[in-house]
Structure 1
Amino acid sequence: MKKIVSPKIKTQLLGLLLLSACSTPDSMKGFDSKTWKDDRDACQNQRAALVDDFEQIRKELYGKKEYVVRNVLGKPDSEELMERSQRIYFYYIEPGTQCDSRNELSEANRVQVRINSLGKVSEITYYKPVETQKPE
């Protein structure tokens, strides 16, 4: 016997799948994304206090899609296009010349998130490595 699913139910299921696909993973919900996103270019110096918390979720970001990074960290402060459709997102973690001129990369410390050609995180580094607490 063949079961028939109404188009309305199919639409609702598709909507739920799309909503869940764009959400932040539960394991990253403890990270204060709002404060990180609100401190654009780290000019308010609030991101520096979140570096240890960021370190807790950093390894979980590997292999995640670009939209997850944007949900957790927000729009990058700067972006560099690489060969073969790769990109590097820059998120400053300390104030610097980027607060005065947003047209150039600053020498201020920043998180660098490499997005590969498949749209997934392949590398996360610091411009100037910082002392962080190691995750347990």
Structure 2
Amino acid sequence: MRRLSLFVFLTGSLFSCNSIPDQFGKLDLKKWRGDRGGCNGVRATLVPDFRAEIQNLKGKTTNTIGELLGRPDINQIADRNQKFYIYFLEKGSHCDQPGVKSNSRSVAIRMSAIGLATEVTFQNGLP
């Protein structure tokens, strides 16, 4: 009986894992994640949908943001254990020469010291 209970628990645990969604409200996450660095021009077309979901991104954990939007193009450390996840929205010098400072449009998500998204800003280059 104990083995059967353990088997049911482990099997249930394996199948209860959620897969990464392809949509977040209006935002097509599959397209967003597929345009690393915004170098293919797809993210620029998704900006209105991204803006519509800003309030829903706030309060999400660092891990959740990473799962939804993919690995950030730049992970910038800030004061007091805060960090920024930066995603470029358009092609720029960062596409042809990785590591080179870019002034392309980007979005920065500020992550608090406890790992929650607190602010979303748009700018040229880095915040």
TM-score band by shorter chain is 0.7 to 0.9
Which structure 1 residue ranges, 4+ long, deviate > 3 Å from structure 2?
Answer: 12-17, 22-26
Equivalent residues in 2 for 1:12-31 (5 A)? Answer: 12-15=11-14, 19-20=17-18, 23-24=20-21, 28=24, 30-31=26-27
Counterpart-to-counterpart distance in 1, 2:25 and 2:10: 28
Confirm whether residue 35 of structure 1 aligns to residue 35 of structure 2.
no
SS class of match (2:86): strand
CA contact (8 A) 1:23 1:68 kept: no
Partner of 1:6, secondary structure, is helix
Deviation, 1:67, is 1.9
Q: Aligned to 2:45, which of 32, 49, 70?
A: 49
Give me the CA root mean square deviation: 2.3
In structure 2, C-alpha distance between the alignment counterparts of 1:117 and 1:12, rounded to whole Å = 35
Which consecutive residues of structure 2, in runs of 5 or more, have no partner in the other structure? none
**SS state of the match for residue 64, structure 1?**
coil
Flag the 1:104–1:49 CA change in 2: closer, same or farther, 3 A.
same
User: Contact 2:72 / 2:86 at 8 angstroms: preserved in 1?
Assistant: yes
Cα distance in 2 for residues equivalent to 1:33 and 1:25: 5
Q: Does 1:7 align with 2:3?
A: no
Alpha-carbon displacement from aligned partner over 1:32-74 (angstroms, at most 9, x marks no partner): 1111111111111111100001111111000001122122211
Q: What is the CA–CA distance in structure 2 between the aligned matches of 1:45 and 1:122, rounded to whole Å? A: 27
What is the match of residue 72 of structure 1? 68
Give the Å deviation of 1:119: 1.3
CA contact (8 A) 1:24 1:68 kept: no
Give the Cα separation in 2 of the matches to 1:85 and 1:13: 37
CA shift at 1:7, angstroms?
A: 2.2
User: Is the 8 Å Cα contact of residues 78 and 105 (structure 1) preserved in structure 2?
Assistant: no
Distance 2:61 2:12 in 1: 22
Taking a change above 3 Å as real, the CA distance of residues 30 and 9 of structure 1, as seen in their structure-2 partners, is: farther
Number of corresponding residues: 122
Which is strand-richer, 1 or 2? 2
